[in-house]
């Protein structure tokens, strides 16, 4: 058979395989998410019942954790792939509420876009010790280190 058609068939097979793979995973992730959420809900309900029974606590608005950081906006920078990356961290009520990339003049578009997914990890973990983005290691390391740098500036007891 002609090689042109063989290539077309191969390509279609690969695309089909990726599609099936993604679909299977999506279904699995959904099922897991549902199971996890319902388990969480149940345990949370149980816990709430217990607390109310034993301690009869009043509800606070949650800011009981003592934070190391002073509220405000802080900039920090670190070396990325092609030069310095500068980020701005916003600390509100002692926790990181926003992380913005202020400037990254020498990073490549697609890489920076990929690396930016580290921002939500950092905000979720409330820490700069998160894994870098594979494939965009240099740029994401830059964002991470710049955040670390900014958090240093935000510390209460600076030495």
Partner 1 sequence: MKEMTPLKKRKIHAGVRAGIQLMFFILMPSAFTTAFAGVKYIFVQLGNREPIEFNAFIKVLSVLLVYTAVFGRFFCGYACAFGSLGDAVRALYMSICKKMKKKPVAINETMNKLFIYVKYLVLLMIVFVSYKGMATSTKGMSPWDVFSMLRAGNIEMGAYIIGTVLLVLILIGMAICERFFCRFLCPMGAVFTLIPSIPYLSLRRTRTNCINGCSACKRVCPCNIELSDVSSIEISGECIQCGKCRGICPKQNVKRTLVPQNFELCFTIIRAAILVAILIWAGL
Catalog residues that contact partner 1 under the rule CB under 8 A.
2-5, 7-8, 10-11, 18, 21-22, 25-26, 29, 79, 81-83, 106, 108-111, 113-114, 134-137
CA 20 – CA 17 distance, rounded (Å): 5
Answer for the pair 124, 52: CB distance below 8 angstroms, yes or no.
no
Q: Quick one: 112 or 150, whose CB is closer to partner 1?
A: 112
d(CA 113, CA 23): 25
Q: Which residue number, 7 or 155, has a Cβ lying nearer to partner 1?
A: 7
Please state, in angstroms and rounded to a whole number, the distance separating the CA atoms of residues 97 and 90.
6
CB of 132 to partner 1, least distance (A): 8
Q: How far is the CB of 20 from partner 1 (least distance, A)?
A: 11
* 97: three-class secondary structure by DSSP: strand
Q: What's the min distance (Å) between Cβ of 30 and partner 1? A: 11
- CB nearer to partner 1: pick between 72 and 83: 83
Q: How far is residue 157 CA from its own chain's centroid?
A: 27
């Amino acid at each position: 058979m002609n090689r042109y058609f063989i290539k077309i068939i191969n390509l279609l097979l690969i695309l089909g395989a990726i599609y099936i793979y993604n679909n299977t995973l999506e279904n699995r992730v959904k099922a897991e998410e549902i199971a996890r959420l319902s388990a969480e809900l149940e345990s949370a309900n149980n816990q709430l019942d217990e607390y109310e029974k034993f301690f009869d606590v009043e509800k606070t608005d949650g800011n009981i954790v003592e934070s190391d950081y002073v509220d405000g906006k802080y900039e920090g920078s670190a070396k990325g792939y092609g030069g310095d990356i500068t980020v701005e961290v916003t600390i509100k009520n002692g926790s990181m509420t926003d992380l913005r990339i202020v400037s990254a003049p020498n990073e490549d578009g697609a890489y920076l876009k990929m690396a930016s997914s580290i921002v939500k990890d950092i905000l979720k973990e409330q820490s700069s010790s998160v894994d870098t983005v594979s494939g965009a290691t240099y740029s994401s390391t830059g964002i991470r280190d710049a955040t670390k740098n900014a958090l240093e500036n935000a510390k209460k007891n600076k030495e």
